[in-house]
């Protein structure tokens, strides 16, 4: 399916969800789920570790000690997301959805992401760049206190596109 058709499908899913869904009430702090572990803004490092352990997951701190990657127990290659702490509390978390291989998978991931938003009406921003290294497109959906973004990358000289979908809560210092 062409990139144009894929983005048209993305827009249709977002528009349909925005028109059909009623905003849900606030459910405390924004949160993200890794398996069955619900991680919320403001949780302590110890609370995060406990919730992840109960869901067979763990975090591995990066060199800056404030950022950690979330892994399934027994795996050390593919991480599920990132959690950033400030003063020992969660200020940002994201969940990396599995790699997308088709427009149908993309539509399903986006529909699932919107279903998990407290607000079914989203604002979107679109970015793209094409240069000597290849092409890059990104659309960011802001849905209340959560965001999700869809990134498409194509290396120069390749016809293969890599599509990633991430759900995010909170803010990092760089954002």
pLDDT at position 116: 66
Domain end (from 74, 94, 114): 94
Domain total of the chain: 2
Q: How far, in Å, CA of 93 to CA of 70, rounded? A: 10
HSE-up of 19 (CA within 13 Å, CB side)? 6
Written as tens digits, the pLDDT of the chain (175 aa) is 444 444 444 443 443 333 333 333 334 788 889 989 999 999 999 999 999 999 999 999 998 889 999 999 988 788 999 999 999 999 999 998 877 777 788 788 777 777 767 667 888 899 988 777 678 899 988 887 888 888 888 888 888 888 888 889 998 655 4
Residues 114 and 161 in one domain: yes
Residues in the chain, overall count: 175
* CA distances in angstroms from 106 to 56, 85, 119, 138, listed in the order given: 27, 30, 20, 13
- Do 45 and 131 reside in the same domain of the chain? no
pLDDT at 172: 67
In a domain, 90, yes or no: yes
The residue segments making up the domain with residue 165 are 3-21+97-170
pLDDT of 131: 73
Q: Is 175 a domain residue?
A: no
Supply the pLDDT for residue 22: 32
Sign of CA dihedral 79, 149, 110, 44: positive
Residues 90 and 115 both lie in one domain: no
Do 79 and 35 fall within a single domain? yes
Is 26 inside a domain boundary? no
CA distance 39 to 56: 14
In a domain, 16, yes or no: yes
């Amino acid at each position: 399916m062409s990139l144009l058709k894929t983005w048209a499908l993305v827009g249709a899913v977002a528009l349909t969800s925005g028109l059909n869904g009623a905003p849900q009430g606030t459910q405390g702090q924004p949160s993200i789920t890794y398996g069955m572990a619900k991680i919320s803004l403001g949780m302590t490092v110890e609370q995060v570790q406990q919730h992840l352990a109960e869901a067979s997951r763990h975090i591995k701190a990066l060199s800056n000690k404030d950022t950690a990657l979330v892994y399934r127990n027994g795996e050390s290659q593919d991480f599920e997301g990132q959690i950033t702490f400030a003063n020992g509390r969660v200020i940002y978390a994201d969940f990396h959805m599995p790699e997308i291989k088709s427009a149908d998978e993309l539509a399903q991931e986006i529909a699932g992401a919107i279903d998990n938003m407290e607000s079914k009406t989203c604002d979107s921003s679109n970015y793209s760049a094409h240069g000597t290294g290849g092409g890059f497109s990104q659309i960011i959906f802001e849905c209340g206190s959560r965001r999700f973004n869809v990134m498409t990358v194509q290396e120069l000289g390749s016809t293969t596109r890599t599509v990633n979908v991430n759900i995010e809560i909170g803010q990092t210092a760089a954002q």
